Amino acid sequence: MKRLIGSVTLLLVLCCYMWSCEKDDLCATDTPTTPSLLIEFYASDNPAAPNPVTNLRYFVEGSKDTIFIKGSAAKIRVPLRVDGTSTKWGLILYTNPNGVDTYNTDFLEFKYTTTQVYVSRACGFKTLFKLDDPTAPNPVLTDGDKTLWIDEADIVNTNVETEEKAHVKIYF
């Protein structure tokens, strides 16, 4: 009888543990979910040399929210719309010639197709992107003001599935 009470108690405790402690209800931050475009900056006159940008701001055309990267950055993460087939980003280059804050906006429109992939109960689904043919042309470079600061934007990896390697290189 004692053994029985013991085993019933153990079973009850185990059940409570199972019901209450739902570890897989939170999406762990290190889970690979929807990737962003990884863009690297290079110098036009020396295509092999990384050319970091300073205090870069970027935004989706039509959106009020602006992403701000403080300090210098040789590469940036650029999210893509998961519910569309193109995303047009405005990139604002900050320069300070002779102590005057100067901003120059150029637009890059990325075209792609999406695939929705199941991750887990807690994370739901993620979106993987396949960038359209670079000769389409893709991305489409347009000017937001009087001058272009980007000389060239090249797709180096059309499959946007991880953020390990750069997908796009910008020369300026």
Give residues in contact with other proteins (CB under 8 A).
1, 4, 7-8, 11-12, 14-15, 18-19, 22-25, 27, 31, 33-36, 57, 60, 65-70, 76-79, 81-83, 116-127
Please, which residue, 46 or 95, has the CB nearer to other proteins?
95
Which residue lies nearer to other proteins by CB, 32 or 137? 32
The rounded distance, in Å, linking the Cα atoms of 60 and 3 is 66
Query: CB of residue 124 vs other proteins: minimum separation in angstroms?
Result: 3
The nearest distance, CB 22 to other proteins, in angstroms, is 8
Give the nearest distance from C-beta 120 to other proteins in angstroms: 7
Tell me whether residue 22 or residue 151 sits nearer to other proteins (CB atom). 22
Nearest-angstrom CA–CA distance, 51 and 75 = 9
- Closest CB 166 distance from other proteins, rounded Å: 16
